[in-house]
Amino acid sequence: MLGHFSRSELAYMTTSKMRLPTDFWRGPGTP
């Protein structure tokens, strides 16, 4: 599963989760 992502992509997703935990878990379009 993780093998499908590159290091930069994993770093981006991790950073996004840390910065915007609400947006990351809820997903876009969620109020």
Confirm whether pTM is higher than 0.75: no
| Residue 27 banded pLDDT, cuts 50, 70, 90 | low
**Mean pLDDT along residues 4-31:** 65
The full set of domain ranges for the chain reads: 1-25
pLDDT value at residue 13: 72
Q: Which residue has the higher pLDDT, 11 or 16?
A: 11
Amino acid at 24: F
Buried b or exposed e, range 9-24, using 16+ CB within 10 angstroms: eeeeeeeeeeeeeeee
Q: For residues 2-27, give the mean pLDDT.
A: 66
